[in-house]
Structure 1
Amino acid sequence: MDGREVLEDGSTDAIAHGGDLDAARKLFPAAPEPWLDLSTGINPVPYPLPPFEASVLHRLPSPGDLARLKAAAAAAYGAPGPDHVVAAPGTQILIETLPRLCPPSRVAVVGPTYAEHAAAWTRCGHAVRMVDDPAEAEDAEVLVAVSPNNPDGRVFAAETLLRTGGLVVLDQAFADLETVETASPRPGLVVLRSFGKTYGLAGLRLGFALADAALARRIEAALGPWAVSGPAIAAGLSALPDAAWRREAAAARAKDAARLDRMIARAGGRVVGGTALFRTADFPDGPGLFRALGEAGIYVRRFSGAPQRLRFGLPPDKAAWCRLSRVLK
């Protein structure tokens, strides 16, 4: 899930998605190839997956395969056990599914944030409003928050959110590489975790919901059988138990984010938020810089409601860092 612009009506036609290089090529047809895509918040240094057996492509995943994946996720994310874990083909489908399991409700979304949350609840007939702060959502029956938030990096404690007394959906897609409190599932709280962002394997489509056992069963039933592919299960079983890799990745990406902050400051920008996987900054001429980067084949995120604002993912290697530095200078 990368940053998307928040639409007041929750509609989806105009929601811009990071990673859309087809759109970048239309905007800048003369830009050099290959493109350097910094428009997403995905770890640019992916987990080194070992080869998996060809059989995971030839057969349907078994209940035992899924049970082992859920156990690995419970251990990695601090859930009480696999009964509290739902495995899904990415967190986006979970964002779409949760509103369908609730009766028409008053929903507050803490924003600006990832626009698909408000859009999904709106499509299902819920009364959705955006709030700047969870304290403004006292009358809400459902509260949705992203922590760390995209694109400003704000962090919300689960205990604070739960004071509303209704259902809380806490999207912690960017939490794995941060030094923030991660939430455990309990009645009234659903936590979403992204595998693809943390491990740089977004194309596998794997994500998790952590919830009390009864709600987890309802979400799982709504997704239907074989929701997660064999290769995604194999990747999860390999990567989720590797706590040492996560620690090393967190330290390395934090250094990268600090390096990016320095480059942004030298270019006259002011960092206004972010996480270890992206930085959001204001520039005196945001549209001009977006154009200069695009003409150089570098794609970053922009925001229609804040034209001075750009969001940068992390470059993957030395050549990419040098390429970005040349334009920012």
Structure 2
Amino acid sequence: MTAPPFESDEVDLRHHGDAEVGGGLADFAVNVRTGMPPEWLAERLRASIADLAAYPDPRPARRAVARRHGRSAGEVLLTAGAAEAFVLLARVLAPRRAVVVHPQFTEPEAALRAAGHAVERVILTKDFTLDPVSLSGGTTPQTPRQEPFTSGGTTPQTPRQQPFTSGGTTPQTPRQQPLIPDDADLVVIGNPTNPTSVLHPADAVAALARPGRTVVVDEAFMDCVPGEPESLASRLPTGVVVIRSLTKTWGLAGLRAGYVLADPHLVGRLTEAQPLWAVSTPALVAVEACSTPEAVAEAEAWAAELGAERDRLAAELSTRGLYVVPEARASFLCLSVPDALGIRALLRQRGYAVRRGDTFPGLGPDWLRIAVRDRPSNDALLEVLGELGI
């Protein structure tokens, strides 16, 4: 099936998956890996409590992150999760024209708006992937996406064909405007993208960079991809900022652990804007521990297992006639369901929490995001969906 169109109404940028859970509901709304942290990491975190009387020292963790990505320590800023990184960037940068590529995690836009910046939204079409033609502006006409579920939306109109003019010249297809305005000096994009689970090619993301422009890439879910072939963390092209998080894979949402990779000058500016000792000693211990080759290998093995189960779940949902955003690569699926908000409410009555999609710019009331869990849990959700006629 092909994807439905996006909705353009204002949405609640501050709504996140944690607002969907609680009350004993089975959690398919939050994209944090369950059963984490592993015992070896939990043991180190418990031991770190003995050092809480001393102020945090970020240097060992910064060096560990630098080694992990082949960067210098001066290109690393440790943060209290990816969310703090977005706030710091919004405070330090002064964009004249900021563009956020949607659908994606809404905190970058929320942070920019809170800092007083105007934000333009670019909505990806064609299964929410970066289109090389539209990146630079081309002459290939866009094919409107078809619409299986149209609650609250409008059906795209197919442009009329230009008639052939005998004895004259063949009409030229107008050149499209580039996807990203040429004068945009700040562009924010996720990869893999939350909520669509789409992994963009590294070259396509790197192509967004140009002199005078900062490109911020949210790679919070990149460690869901074995080998991370599309990551820019090790390449770090000029003007590109990469944001990473330990929250998802290692189950550390309550600890707040993440980092920024950027050129040393920008890292210095961000450091000046960051409160002293912003990252706690336990979080620094986690960052250092999870950046070792052994931890990276463990995460990669999990990513391979995740991928197999994610693909199975996507196939099961697709056979039921649902549109699942294709080529999912993160720890969740994005799908279109008739009356998704109604289905979400019925699932809650049966003890299951899923993430509503209508609070993501570029989606609408017929979208849900579902976290991928272990096979028994996923099968239980599928059974309940079947009882609901899905």
The TM tier, using the shorter chain, reads 0.7 to 0.9
Shift of residue 40, structure 1, vs aligned partner: 1.8
SS in 1 for 2:269: helix
Contact 1:7 1:115 in 2 (8 A): no
Which ranges in structure 2 are unaligned for 5 or more consecutive residues? Answer: 1-5, 125-134, 136-178
Any idea what the Cα deviations from partners look like across 1:99-142, whole Å, max 9, x if unmatched? Answer: 11122521011112222212221222223101135532211011
Counterpart residue number, 1:149:
193
C-alpha distance in structure 1 between counterparts of 2:182 and 2:123, whole Å: 13
Structure 1 counterpart of 2:337: 283
- What SS does structure 2 have at the residue aligned with 1:202? coil
Q: Does 1:176 align with 2:227?
A: no
Picking from 30, 34, 43, the partner of 2:33 is 43
CA distance in 2, matches of 1:265, 1:195: 31
> 2:254 matched to 1:263?
no
Query: In 2 relative to 1, CA 217–192 (structure 1 residues): closer, same or farther, beyond 3 Å?
Result: same
Structure 1 residues 15 and 243, CA, compared in 2 at 3 Å: closer, same or farther? Answer: closer
Query: In 1, Cα distance between the equivalents of 2:86 and 2:237?
Result: 18
C-alpha contact 1:35 1:298 (8 A) present in aligned 2: yes
Q: Percent identity?
A: 30
1:252 corresponds to which of 297, 305, 315: 305
Distance 1:113 1:50, change over 3 A: closer
Secondary structure of residue in 2 paired with 1:162: coil
Aligned length: 310
Match of 2:53 in 1: 59
Partner of 2:17: 18
AA aligned to 2:105 is: Y
> Which one has a larger percent helix, Structure 1 or Structure 2?
1
> Where do residues 1-329 of structure 1 align in structure 2 (5 Å cutoff)?
15-21=14-20, 34-48=24-38, 49-52=41-44, 53-56=47-50, 58-63=52-57, 66-76=58-68, 78-132=69-123, 135-152=179-196, 153-155=198-200, 157=202, 158-163=205-210, 165-178=212-225, 179-183=228-232, 184-241=235-292, 242-273=295-326, 274-304=328-358, 305-316=363-374, 318=376, 320-329=377-386
Change (3 A) 1:237 1:14: closer
Cα RMSD over matched residues?
2.5
* Structure 1 length-normalised TM: 0.85
Moved more, 131-140 or 164-173: 131-140
Structure 1, unaligned runs of 5 or more: 26-32
Distance in 2 (CA, whole Å) between partners of 1:180 and 1:119 is: 29
Identify if the C-alpha distance between structure 1 residues 193 and 307 changes in structure 2 by more than 3 Å, giving closer, same or farther: same
Q: Is the 8 A contact 1:263 1:328 kept in 2?
A: no
Query: Which amino acid letter does the alignment assign opposite residue 310 of structure 1?
Result: L
Sort the Cα spacing of 1:290 and 1:268 in 2 relative to 1 into closer, same or farther, 3 A.
Answer: farther
Pair 233,272 (structure 1): closer, same or farther in 2 beyond 3 Å = same
Q: How far has the Cα of 1:62 moved from its partner? A: 4.1
1:23-77 alpha-carbon deviations (Å, 9 max, x no partner): x56xxxxxxx6211111222234241241325445323443xx11101111222x
1:175, CA displacement in angstroms? Answer: 1.0
List, as ranges, runs of 4+ consecutive aligned residues in structure 1 with deviation greater than 4 Å.
Answer: 5-9, 54-57
* Residue-by-residue CA offset, 1:129-170 (whole Å, 9 max, x unaligned): 011355322110111111111222251534211137411111
Taking the aligned partners of 2:307 and 2:276, their CA distance within structure 1 comes to 38
For 1:72, the aligned partner's letter is A
Query: Which TM-score applies when normalising by structure 2?
Result: 0.73
In 2, Cα distance between the equivalents of 1:275 and 1:175?
9
Letter in 2 for 1:206: A
